[in-house]
A and B are shown apart, each in its own frame.
Chain A
Amino acid sequence: MTLVNAVLQGIFLGAFYAVLACGLSIMFGVMRIINLAHGDVAVLGAYIVFVIVEHTGVSAFVAFAAALPVMVVLGYILQLTVLERSLKAGILTPLLATFGLSIVIQNLLQLTFSPDVHSLGGSAGVVTTSSWQVTSGLSVSALGIVVLAVAVLVFGALQVFLSRTRAGWVMRATAEDADAAELVGIDSRSVYARATAIAVAIAALGGLFLGIRSVFDPVSGPTQLIFAFEAVVIGGMGSLWGTLFGGIALGVAQTLGAQVHPQFAVMAGHLLFLAVLIVRFGGGRAVLPGVRRALLLRTAR
């Protein structure tokens, strides 16, 4: 029963990772940019929600609705001022630019909010603490259900947007061949800005969930980025449903790892990530014979 519970909690945790990873996946899929500031953007979103909650006393969810337009505008500005310029300079420049942006965001947050930890748990109401005891060894938290439902909703909505609407086709067309898209009248700059705005808005949603489920401080971003990045890679770079699946796989790996030993949780996630990398990039053929030989040697001895 503890195993079933671990898998269930892993799915809830993984849905959270998937939300974090979603924006990263969009930006990679559309612009081939790996946004190293993605985790910090999520934390920035959490801080904006936190400020609104502190000043108005509304629920974290209401505050998030108010923060959403701010994040969308931030996404546009980010694209038009930083990413667009760096995209022109080749494949490595956006990586460096977003790395720099990550440091800038962390330091601005430190300056403004001090290194104290904050949480949005208290302002999210009953959702934070409610849970249902299904059986003695199996409990389902309200927050877990909310995060999973929102994750499925976000990925579903994006899927419908990309496959059913003209704006979605335009985005896919630009992702596949920006040069050819320009030649049929598509302004790739505005498509990129729209993609970044969506990515930043969903990152803020990840930040909201981070703040509700635990605590955050100005330097929480990079850790979130690592989990988000692993989710994207496990699910297959640039594949949307893959990212949801990858996030859940990572979450389940972590909770199962915690069953072995509490300190093994994060490590189990990293091992899954490494295993996927090795198999995906043909390393399986290069590495597996070596592993087999090593095992054979040991048994022979």
Chain B
Amino acid sequence: MTLVTVESLDCRYGLLQAVRGVSFEIGQGETVALIGANGAGKTTLMRAVAGAHRPHGGRVVFDGIDITRIPAHRRVALGIALVPEGRRLFPGLTVEENLRVATSRRRGRWNVKSVLEVFPLLQPRRHVAAANLSGGEQQAVAIGRALMTNPRLLLLDEVSLGLAPVVVDAVYRSLTDVIREGATVLLVEQDLTRALKVAGRVICMLEGRVVLEGDAASLDRDRVVRAYFGLKRPA
């Protein structure tokens, strides 16, 4: 079953066109990795799906509903959560307060207790202000905060950015638990090996367009690299 359909989406910042006629579908329970060089339009695309960026044209359909004109906070109520680039925690709020503000009316398995079980490193830090956390802890809170809304679609924008490799491993171990429980995930990841390992399908963007799309298992690294750098446009 298709959960998300993006149809010929156009996103602009003034005269700059960041996303050009992008279309794709994500099925229920799929894990899709969005890859591409800096400036390829990945973050803008994610923000448009989450409702933080108003697209210039095209449609976003979620579970049969056209959500293109629906504001971000109401998309959260429908079951879309974005872990934004740079984490964007509320620095003056404690870990627990950061999690609790995201509590939604949607029912599901996620609450403060279950989030802290998946991210045990946060347990001793729950009353510490988010500003005083390490990068890895902050990323865990950002993911946990998104989970608190009990999303059906989880959008993860560069969760490994600026983290030590060991911490990235820990974050991805927790994510695998989340994915295994049936969440639908669209993630942006710069590390190709990791993206191909976690995701079932890969979408590669170049200069605002989708240049390659396919099952992670069927794609060989060379083709992805060529598409990534735009060396030779695949047919």
- A contact residues vs B (CB 8 Å cutoff): 166, 169-170, 172-173, 176-177, 179-188
Contact = CB atoms under 8 A, between A and B. Distances in A.
A188 B72 CA distance: 10
A185 B102 contact: yes
B88 A177 contact: yes
B81 interface: yes
**Across chains A and B, which 9 residue pairs bring their CB atoms closest together, nearest first?**
A185-B76, A184-B102, A180-B88, A182-B72, A173-B90, A169-B97, A176-B90, A173-B101, A187-B73
Contacts of A186: 73, 101
Interface stretch (B14-22, B145-153, B173-181): B145-153
B120 interface: no
B145 A184 contact: yes
Interface in B168-224: none
B56 interface: no
Contacts of A179: 52, 88
A177 B90 contact: yes
B8 interface: no
Contacts of B91: 176
5 contacts: A173-B90, A179-B52, A180-B89, A185-B102, A187-B74
B104 interface: yes
A166 B92 contact: no
A183 B92 contact: no
B50 interface: yes
A283 B143 CA distance: 43
Given A170-B101, A179-B52, A180-B88, A185 B93 contact: no
A176 B84 contact: no
Contact of A166 (B50, B82, B88, B100): B100
Given A180-B88, A184-B146, A185-B73, 20 more contacts: A169-B93, A169-B100, A173-B93, A176-B90, A176-B92, A176-B93, A177-B90, A180-B89, A181-B73, A182-B73, A183-B73, A183-B76, A183-B81, A184-B81, A184-B102, A184-B145, A185-B76, A185-B102, A187-B74, A188-B73
Chain B interface size, as a band, is 20 to 34
Which DSSP category, helix, strand, loop or mixed, fits chain A's interface? Answer: helix
B62 to A, nearest CB: 15
Contacts of B50: 183
A184 B93 contact: no
Given A166-B101, A169-B100, A184 B92 contact: no
Interface in B57-115: 71-74, 76-77, 81-82, 84, 88-93, 97-98, 100-104
Contacts of A177: 88, 90
B52 A184 contact: no
Nearest to B130: A176
A182 B54 CA distance: 13
B165 to A, nearest CB: 27
A172 B148 contact: no
A214 to B, nearest CB: 38
A185 B100 contact: no
B86 to A, nearest CB: 10
